Amino acid sequence: METNLLIKQLKAYMSKSKLDFVKEALLFAQKNHQNQFRKSGDPFIDHPVSTALYLANMRMDSTTIASALLHDVIEDCGVTKEEINEKFGLHVANLVDGVTKLKINNPKAKNSNGNIQVIDTEQIRAANLRKILTAMSDDVRVILIKLADRLHNMLTLEALKKENQVKIAQETLDIYAPLAHRLGIWDMKWRLEDQSFKYLMPEKYKMISRLISRKRVQRESYVNKAIKEIQAEIVKSQITGNIYGRPKHLYSIYKKIERYSSQGKQFDEIYDLIAIRIIVKTVPECYSTLGIIHNLWKPIPGEFDDYIANPKDSMYQSLHTTVMCYEGYPVEIQIRTEEMHLTAEEGIAAHWAYKEEDNDTIGHQYKSKMNWFNQLLDDQRDVDEDIDYINSIKKDVLGDQVFIYTPKGEIKTLPVAATPLDFAYEVHTELGHDCVSALINGKTVSLETSLKNGDTVEIRKSRNPRGPRLDWLNPDLQFVTTSKAKLKIRQWFRKQERESNISRGNEIIKKESYKLGIKINEKEVALLPGFENISDLAEQLGAGETTISQLARFLEKELLKTSSKVNGEILQPEVIVMGLNNLPNKISKCCNPVFDQEIQGYLTRKNTVSIHVSNCSYLRYSVEPERIVNVVWGTNNQKLQVKIQVDADDRIGLLRDITSVVSGENINIDFLKSTDFGKTTKIDITVYTSGIEQLSRIYSRIEAIPGVREIYRLN
Ligand code: MN
């Protein structure tokens, strides 16, 4: 059945020779998957055929269709890449091989004694995403096939066990749907989302399906009335357009309802489900139609977007507006040409659409169009830490985006929470390096302000180029958030002379150890991985390779030595009782465990937990083994008493600013005194912190408060 449909679809657009090539691939796949069945009991060949059919509906080239048909023969039939190369050529062989290797790993791994141990899922996601992006940079068609493959698997998920359904659906929602979104393949994106939604939140899925069907009649009559009126108006201007009510997808409705409820807004079953799309022939007709609509109904200010003049990164183009339609209800309207519509539905795939000539060389052309994609690959090349990598991908690629305007009206896409500095680096590296101040919508703002969708940002440069500030890399201050900006700043410092890096680093060590009241021990530095001696540490600090907070973590041990006594009492590290966190606990006298020893807890009849060494014999022969609970040593709950002094220019609001930094860390101020010396003021604060890392963060933030001259620790 599906096979006939596929051939029919291909015949509609392929020449005979190309079709024969695809048929040969089909035959090869049929032969190899013979007698194989899917979990549903269907013949296996249905799967590659359905995958190919989806791509054929997008009129993809013959290489892609053949590869889709063969995409499982390496993995499931033991066919080699060489064999595919001989029969179908290198392009097909590479694509099939690429899809085969693109396996998403299971975030669970078995350790040596057979117990299942959950390993860092973030790291696995990072590795998976890296794989996907690498495959994409080789030939983006690998991803298109993979997405079609995944879609068919999602459509046939019913046959799997519940736990696998959830796992696969989650992975689809986390990785594949955002990827389809970024590649601009909307049709794929919403299908993947709706399918995942169905398995991840079955109740809510049903609820929304019911919601949609309930008031269909009223909704349709409202839309039809509006369509008729638009139709009548555009005909007067000799425009012929295809106008229709645009269906909204279940998952997007769900998200809208969630958003509404968090804003306390009521979701309307009729009007919030209405959207209209108008497809016309030419770009001037798009704008004429827009004018006609705005004449007919009042547009809602701030709801108009011109993605024709300013296409999105994925090349998406369209006019979006929301108007006050009949009875004052807002209705979303999109206006675009047929060509734009194709790009909107198929995104990147539109560039691989079938042409009579060989499509395999199209790569370069499209790469220059997919600017963001190029940049992304460039940016990621130098990021080698997996965790950095996943964070940057999550934010820069899969995360939500804001559109920011340059003063000339150009659009830049940045992740949510990006700052003016991120923007400056996005425009030009030098603009970032020389940035001294920024204006958002004409107002001067501090460089760490979060940008909002639609902001216009102007960057002021210093007259004499002086390079970035090392502060900008301090994660506590959040000057920059994109991996690109961080990378460019780090590269700048890396390029500086070793000598000047060392002296800058020494300054930091001096300043930081003075502030924190700690000495840095040469011997201990040598023990740390990555540093041979203090100048090594200094160089890395000065070059921005090691951050202040990493230094702080290293200094932590030092602090423990100098202030392990609070009020003359030796600090006992707290114990965390897993799952029963607020039960009081005490170290048992029988075995007296010390910090870092393996421990277990015993839930007493008084509902306290006594802490024993794991192999304590009392515990082993305890009468009620079910009272044994898991415990671990707490690491961050230790509170260290620290006295800080801040010297500052006196001004109104200074104390409030300082105390809000401290309370922002969720710690208590034990003592506070401010002494005035005319224009300057001295503030003494005593706090209990969880350690040097936190203390260093507090310092950085207090130092950034206007008027603050110096901050240091009192002993
Ligand atoms: Mn497959």
The percentage of the chain sitting over the pLDDT mark of 90, rounded to a whole number, equals 24
How high is the pLDDT of residue 369? 45
Instruction: Please report, for the chain, the start and end positions of each structural domain, with discontinuous segments joined by +.
Output: 2-200, 208-348, 400-494, 498-562, 573-633, 640-713
Cβ density class 586-608: b for 16+ within 10 Å, e for less: eebeebebeeeeebbbbbeeeee
One-letter identity of residue 552:
A
How high is the pLDDT of residue 112? 42
- Name the least confident of 244-258, 303-317, 347-361: 347-361
- Counting Cα atoms < 13 Å in the Cβ hemisphere of 603 gives 16
- Tell me how far the alpha carbon of residue 29 lies from the centroid of ligand 1, in angstroms: 12
- Name the least confident of 285-289, 346-350, 532-536: 346-350
Domain covering 640-713: architecture: 2-Layer Sandwich (3.30)
Class assignment of domain 208-348? alpha beta
Catalytic member of 20, 75, 86, 430: 75
Alpha helices in 102-215 (DSSP H): 121-138, 141-155, 162-171, 177-182, 186-200, 202-214
3-state secondary structure of 438: strand
Mean per-residue pLDDT, 221-226? 90
Residue keyed to tokens 């040598």:
526
3-state secondary structure of 310: coil
Q: CA–CA separation, 74 vs 219, rounded Å?
A: 50
- Tell me how far the alpha carbon of residue 44 lies from the centroid of ligand 1, in angstroms: 10
The confidence band for 67, taking pLDDT boundaries of 50, 70 and 90, is very high
Statement: residue 715 has pLDDT above 80: no
Class assignment of domain 2-200? mainly alpha
Q: CA–CA separation, 94 vs 328, rounded Å?
A: 56
List Cβ neighbours of 398 (8 Å cut-off, separation of 6 or more). Answer: 175, 178, 179, 182
Statement: residue 578 has pLDDT above 50: yes
Domain covering 400-494: architecture: Roll (3.10)
Catalytic member of 76, 138, 524, 665: 76
∠ CA 644-647-652, rounded to 5°: 110
What rounded mean pLDDT belongs to the chain? 80
- Tell me how far the alpha carbon of residue 375 lies from the centroid of ligand 1, in angstroms: 30
Looking at mean pLDDT, say which of 88-92, 373-377, 379-383, 617-621 comes out highest. Answer: 88-92
- Tell me how far the alpha carbon of residue 386 lies from the centroid of ligand 1, in angstroms: 27
Asked if 71 and 51 count as a contact pair (C-beta separation under 8 A), the reply is yes
Statement: residue 525 has pLDDT above 90: no
Nearest to 22 by CA among 45, 52, 59, 57: 52
Statement: residue 166 has pLDDT above 80: yes
- More confident site: 573 or 234: 234
The confidence band for 201, taking pLDDT boundaries of 50, 70 and 90, is very high
Our answer to whether residue 76 is catalytic in this structure is yes
The percentage of the chain sitting over the pLDDT mark of 70, rounded to a whole number, equals 79
What tokens were used for 112? Answer: 């040596």
How high is the pLDDT of residue 672? 83
Asked if 283 and 337 count as a contact pair (C-beta separation under 8 A), the reply is yes
Asked whether this chain's domains 208-348 and 400-494 adopt the same fold, the reply is no
- More confident site: 580 or 434: 434
pLDDT tens digits along 486-497: 888 888 888 887
238: left (phi over 0), alpha (psi -120 to 50) or beta: left
What tokens were used for 552? Answer: 């702080």
What tokens were used for 512? Answer: 């930081």
Q: CA–CA separation, 50 vs 560, rounded Å?
A: 63
What is the number of other CB atoms lying within 10 angstroms of the CB of residue 512? 20
Looking at mean pLDDT, say which of 419-433, 549-563, 621-635 comes out highest. Answer: 419-433
One-letter identity of residue 569:
E
Mean per-residue pLDDT, 652-680? 82
What is the number of other CB atoms lying within 10 angstroms of the CB of residue 330? 16
Cα separation values, 678 from 291, 354, 649, 653, Å: 64, 79, 9, 16
The CA radius of gyration of the chain, in Å to the nearest whole number, is 31
What tokens were used for 188? Answer: 């794929």
Nearest to 315 by CA among 290, 350, 284: 350
pLDDT tens digits along 410-449: 777 788 789 999 999 989 988 999 998 999 988 888 888 8
pLDDT tens digits along 294-334: 989 988 877 788 888 888 766 788 999 988 888 878 889 99
- More confident site: 130 or 334: 334
Return the bridge partners of 575, or none: 633
Question: Mind giving me the DSSP string for 448-469?
Answer: TPPP-TT-BEEEEEPSS-----
- Tell me how far the alpha carbon of residue 47 lies from the centroid of ligand 1, in angstroms: 7
How high is the pLDDT of residue 397? 55
Statement: residue 36 has pLDDT above 60: yes
How high is the pLDDT of residue 19? 94
Mean per-residue pLDDT, 109-130? 51
Q: CA–CA separation, 672 vs 80, rounded Å?
A: 74
List Cβ neighbours of 305 (8 Å cut-off, separation of 6 or more). Answer: 319, 320, 321
- More confident site: 373 or 667: 667
> Rounded to two decimals, what is the model's pTM?
0.55
Q: Indicate the DSSP class of residue 646.
A: E
- Tell me how far the alpha carbon of residue 179 lies from the centroid of ligand 1, in angstroms: 18
How high is the pLDDT of residue 593? 75
- Tell me how far the alpha carbon of residue 335 lies from the centroid of ligand 1, in angstroms: 37
How high is the pLDDT of residue 165? 92
Return the bridge partners of 337, or none: 280
- Name the least confident of 88-92, 152-156, 662-666: 662-666
The bridge status of strand 411-415 relative to strand 401-405 is: antiparallel
Asked if 609 and 629 count as a contact pair (C-beta separation under 8 A), the reply is yes
What is the number of other CB atoms lying within 10 angstroms of the CB of residue 673? 10
Asked if 193 and 251 count as a contact pair (C-beta separation under 8 A), the reply is yes
Asked if 406 and 386 count as a contact pair (C-beta separation under 8 A), the reply is no
The confidence band for 689, taking pLDDT boundaries of 50, 70 and 90, is confident
Residue keyed to tokens 């005194």:
673
Q: CA–CA separation, 482 vs 467, rounded Å?
A: 18
List Cβ neighbours of 136 (8 Å cut-off, separation of 6 or more). Answer: 142, 143, 373
3-state secondary structure of 713: strand
- Tell me how far the alpha carbon of residue 231 lies from the centroid of ligand 1, in angstroms: 45
- Tell me how far the alpha carbon of residue 300 lies from the centroid of ligand 1, in angstroms: 46
What tokens were used for 516? Answer: 């924190």
Residue keyed to tokens 């083994």:
625
Our answer to whether residue 382 is catalytic in this structure is no
The confidence band for 517, taking pLDDT boundaries of 50, 70 and 90, is confident
What tokens were used for 355? Answer: 């042409």
Asked if 662 and 687 count as a contact pair (C-beta separation under 8 A), the reply is yes
- Name the least confident of 72-81, 188-197, 329-338, 468-477: 468-477
